[in-house]
Every structure is written in C-alpha cells, then in structure tokens.
Structure 1
Amino acid sequence: MMKFLNALIDAEGIQLDSSPSLNGHGGRSASYRISVQSNGNLLIGSAYTKQMNLQPGDEFVITLGKKHIRLKQVDTEDESVEATA
C-alpha cells in the first residue's frame, strides 16, 4: 500500500520533503497573485516588499484602471518605482 501511495504522490508532483528555499529560509515563494480578504483589504506580502527593497513608511499613490491597480511609489527624488497588481 505504501508503494502505491508513494507512486501516487510522485505522479502528482507533490513534494513532502521540507527542503529550504533558494535564499536559505523556509516559507512560501511569491506567487504574484493575491486575493481580497474578507474585510475588503488587499495584503501585499513581505516577499514582494523585500524584492522591491521597500522600507516601513514608504508611500504610494494608488491609480485604479479597468482591470488593474497601479502603485506608484512617492519618492523624494525624481525616480519612482511602479508595481501593477
């Protein structure tokens, strides 16, 4: 029975071993998809903020389109960082 279950797990591509991710830390990898929470909020996880080198207190201007939300970082310099969700 165990051989059958192991073969089924292998066929489905499921990994049961908890190997560390590429950066040496455990946890989930960024999927680049988020869901609206039950309170109506959108939560952008730390994987994305770390990738963009964002710091606590960084501010954004939110622009709404038909099928997108654009975040434009408010910066003291002329440079700006954009992210589209």
Structure 2
Amino acid sequence: MAELATTPLTGKALLQKVKELPNVPRRETAKACGYYSKIKNNQVRVNLAEFYDALLAAKGVALESTKDGRGREASYRVSVHQNGQIVIGANYTQQLGLKPGDEFEIKLGYKHIRLVKIGDSQDGSETDTNEA
C-alpha cells in the first residue's frame, strides 16, 4: 500500500504521484494523494470527488460553474405558475443591472414578450430590451 499524504497534493505534485501509482486502485491512489478524511472509529473516508476535481485542475481543465453559491443555476427559461404569473428571478435582474423600482412596458409579440424599460427610447432601437 502507498504511503498516505497528510495534506492533499495539487498541481504537478499530484500528477507525479498519480503517475507513480499506475496499477493502484483509484481509491487507494486518492488516499495516497491526501484526499481522505478520518471519520468515526478512526475509519478512513476517501474523497473521490475532490480528488477528481484536483486532478482535472492539475491537467488544466477548468470546471467553474455559473452558480451563485446559493443553489440554482440560471436556466434562461421561465414557466407560468398555477396562478397565471410569470416570475423572473434575481439572477436575471442582477445580470441586467436592474434596480428595485425600475418600470417596464410589456409588449406582446406573436411568440414573445418584450419588456421595454420606461424612459428608454421607444423607436425600436433600444438596447435594454429583453425577451422572455
């Protein structure tokens, strides 16, 4: 069995350690690279997800998410609720730089809804219009 690292390896050190252990099972490789924690009764729990993330980062593959850290990702889709309302989430209003109190005129098209910010030019060349 390979010697366990006390702190998780990253970068070139991680890649080198993985190359040194070509025939070792992946759980043992993760443990040897420091991706484990001790739980009840001094048992070892292997953190494979952290190991794979570190391995991908060491190889230069970025897996950054667009999530805001609070749960959901912006899907750029909405659905009509049972009460007939459509709710546009905070992710979208933040991306557009909207502030509380901003007002819009609703323009209905054949298959779209256009929100025109009140006070913007109304000649069809506005830049702050959005379709839902």
Fold match by TM threshold 0.5 = yes
C-alpha RMSD of the superposition: 2.6
Structure 2 residue runs without a partner (length 5+): 1-48, 51-63
Determine which structure has more spread, i.e. the larger CA radius of gyration: 2
Q: 1:55 aligns with which of 95, 99, 105?
A: 99
Report the equivalent of 1:45. 89
Aligned-pair identity (%): 48
Find out whether 1:83 has 2:127 as its counterpart.
Answer: no
- How has the CA–CA distance of structure 1 residues 73 and 27 changed in structure 2, closer, same or farther, with 3 Å as cutoff? same
CA distance in 2, matches of 1:31, 1:23: 10
Query: Does the 8 A contact of 1:60 with 1:71 survive in 2?
Result: yes
CA distance in 1, matches of 2:89, 2:72: 10
Q: Which has the higher helix share?
A: 2
Query: Does the 8 A contact of 1:72 with 1:80 survive in 2?
Result: no
Report the equivalent of 1:68. 112
CA distance in 2, matches of 1:84, 1:22: 21
Structure 1 residue runs without a partner (length 5+): 1-15
Q: Deviations over 1:24-70 (max 9, x none)?
A: 62321110000000110000000000000100100001000110000
Query: Does the 8 A contact of 2:115 with 2:130 survive in 1?
Result: yes
AA matched with 1:29 = E
Q: Write out aligned runs for 1:12-51 (5 A).
A: 21-22=65-66, 25-51=69-95
The normalised TM-score by structure 1 is 0.66
